[in-house]
Structure 1
Amino acid sequence: MITEFTTIDYELGRGAVNQLRIDHDSFKTGFRRLANAVHKYGTKIFVQLHHAGRESNSLLTGGKQLVAPSPVVCAAIGEEPRELATEEVKEIIDKFIAAAYRCKIAGIDGVELHGAHGYLINQFLSPNTNLRTDEYGGSFENRIRFLAEIIKGIKKQCGQDFPVTVRLSVDEFEEGGTDVPLSCEISRYLEKMGVDGLHASAGNYNTMETVIESPLFEEGWRVYLAEELKKEVSIPVITVGNIRDPQFVETILAEGKADFVAIGRGHIADPDWVRKVAEGRENEIRMCISCLHCAYSKGHIECSINVRAGRELEFLEMQTIDEKRRVVIVGGGLGEWKLQKYLGLKGMM
């Protein structure tokens, strides 16, 4: 399991209102409880470490100006960030390292550095957003230095056997941003550094439709990005993005296109996804329909086809009724077809 993004800098690095945080020792207790709960079932858990950089906003920073490698505006945010001083860059590196060490002390099994989706690490890697002239900008070696020093620091502080993976936007789908050739070069460099795995994602806030897809995208359309990285490295590669069907997952693995398949929204739609696959009950899976309701729900997480999402303690038991009923869905269009397909509803058009 990999947690959602978890901020290492609550003051300037947040990316969401209700975001997890590991920027202070006081949060170790909560992560210890999380680790214990997961380990009880023989599962491993990583915490995804994150700094939003220019993709935060002034509402989250309490009116403070956003920070970034360079003062390049993210069009989706519309706020000009200030360029981090060299000493500030080093301080953020230390915050990533300290956050990883807190995770280890709390019993977490490893960390994933969120270097995708246009967040701060991605901003340092991308020629489009890193225009610095100091040791952290310019050449490839300088642009990757920020990430490299974080990794070196974590391995030194937590031990070489403490797993560190890196999530990359293999293609930002934006002119001047990271693309497949650059990401392949980054991947080779990271493998030599001792990174334990790569998570092949895509996009940034300006190309948000490629970060979290609508139903218009084919299932697994991003798998080719992981496949490209696998040609370059021997460490495990994770693929992600609009993947629903268990047989499709098996095909990805069997064909060697990726070593792991990550599913996020699918587990919100049906938390028993893995259990049902393991028990041969694939036809009972309540499939995600990529409607994006979870991504834009207010307050707690919500799901358009799983009423219990975010309210599990309110609905401890959901019992089927004995009475059989006919169901009619009116005016659903594509949504109606998807519900018919994934929920097995037999109604009248």
Structure 2
Amino acid sequence: MLEMPCMVNAMKVKNRIVMPAVYIGNKFYHEKFQNFYISRAAKDVGMIIVPIPTMNGVADLCCEEFIQTSKRFVAKCHQYDCKLIAQIFSGVGEMVNEFTKEELEQISQDLILSAKKVKEAGYDGIEIHGAHHALFMSLLSPKANLRTDEFGGKFENRVKLALRTVKGIREVIGKEYPLMFRFSGTEFCEGGVDIKMSIRYAKLLQEEGVDCIDVSAGGSICSPKNSECPDQTKEEGCFSDIFSAIKKEVSVPVIGSGKIITKKTADKILEAGEADFVGVGRPLVASADWARRMLKGNDGDKSCIETWYEQLPKWN
């Protein structure tokens, strides 16, 4: 199953292996940052989601240096038939109750403009980061979102800004350019986001034009510490009940992540129809050739879970 291609809107991905966004430092223009991802593309990863770190928000994405650097970066990954998705951050979730209504509306407009620039820069698609401690996750959370304006209170208000942003992005990027959205399917805490709410959310995102749902878990400002990063006490594929529940309710492709280390686990998830892609983070950080080994039938090395952090590039 891993080797089978899959479509996301009009984009054909050569296999089912996705490297989710890994925050390895605010070094987009650093050659080592780009080489980190190019080395994974060269070793058969089908799709890489690259976090686009900015210090000045949308202004950084509008500059000519970003556009031209990105075009060269994308072209290098395309040599290996790897699709490159730019992930843009929806805002600081910790400030969910501090932003004014006008500031939230401006964030939405900035994200729409960012999407337009990402497409101009040559990326194969765009992903909105609305998971973990991102703003859209905090807005969704009935526990974190204590606002009393039109973006707080009932569910319809809490999802309003995300849906408005998705709709605006779709209008500027066109019908066939892939638009993905990442969020946490549960916060793992009482009174927070649960699977039932996430299914409802995913359906609305799809209706507004999202082409692929990227499901994570935990990691929000209300979640237990490190809940998005399963440790040795958790079994492989430990978030499969979360992303499979969402997969059953939407028609667009779903990316499932959460301690997927071996080909056996990845194939089991795909064959059961629990997800369309497997998101593999720590194994691909620890080993650039994880995808190639899996596609050749060699199973994973579980030691990567303990060593992944040490494998991150060390830059001055």
TM-score interval, smaller chain: 0.7 to 0.9
Matched letter for residue 110 of structure 1: G
Distance 1:53 1:254, change over 3 A: same
Tell me if structure 2 keeps the 8 A contact 1:171–1:183. Answer: yes
Matched letter for residue 310 of structure 1: P
Higher fraction of helix: 2
Give the structure-2-normalised TM-score. 0.78
Quote the residue 2:137 is aligned against.
122
Matched letter for residue 260 of structure 2: I
Considering only CA atoms, is the larger Rg found in Structure 1 or Structure 2? 1
C-alpha deviation, 1:2, in angstroms: 3.3
Tell me if structure 2 keeps the 8 A contact 1:215–1:289. Answer: no
Quote the residue 2:76 is aligned against.
37
Tell me if structure 2 keeps the 8 A contact 1:253–1:259. Answer: yes
Report matched runs for 1:79-228 at 5 Å.
83-203=98-218, 204-205=220-221, 206-228=223-245
C-alpha deviation, 1:4, in angstroms: 4.3
Partner SS state of residue 224, structure 2: helix
Tell me if structure 2 keeps the 8 A contact 1:270–1:287. Answer: no
Quote the residue 1:291 is aligned against.
306
2:263 maps to which of 233, 246, 264: 246
Tell me if structure 2 keeps the 8 A contact 1:221–1:241. Answer: yes
- Structure 2 distance, partners of 1:133, 1:24, is 37
C-alpha deviation, 1:292, in angstroms: 6.2
RMSD: 2.3
Matched letter for residue 226 of structure 1: F
- Structure 2 distance, partners of 1:86, 1:225, is 32
- Structure 2 distance, partners of 1:48, 1:222, is 22
Deviation per residue, 1:244-283 (Å, 9 max, x gap): 1112111111111111101011112211111122334x05
C-alpha deviation, 1:142, in angstroms: 1.5
Tell me if structure 1 keeps the 8 A contact 2:115–2:173. Answer: yes
- Structure 2 distance, partners of 1:12, 1:98, is 11
Tell me if structure 2 keeps the 8 A contact 1:110–1:162. Answer: yes
Partner SS state of residue 36, structure 1: helix
Deviation per residue, 1:137-169 (Å, 9 max, x gap): 222222111111111111111112111111111
| Unaligned runs of at least 5 residues, structure 1 | 14-20, 56-67, 71-82, 295-301, 304-308, 313-349
Tell me if structure 1 keeps the 8 A contact 2:71–2:122. Answer: yes
Aligned length: 266
Highest RCO, 1 vs 2 (Cα 8 Å, sep ≥ 6):
2
- Structure 1 distance, partners of 2:146, 2:77, is 42
Tell me if structure 2 keeps the 8 A contact 1:269–1:288. Answer: no
Distance 1:152 1:137, change over 3 A: same
Give the structure-1-normalised TM-score. 0.71
1:267 maps onto 2:249 in alignment? no
- Structure 2 distance, partners of 1:287, 1:137, is 42
C-alpha deviation, 1:94, in angstroms: 1.3
1:69 maps onto 2:96 in alignment? yes
| Unaligned runs of at least 5 residues, structure 2 | 1-46
1:28 maps onto 2:55 in alignment? no
- Structure 2 distance, partners of 1:182, 1:92, is 24
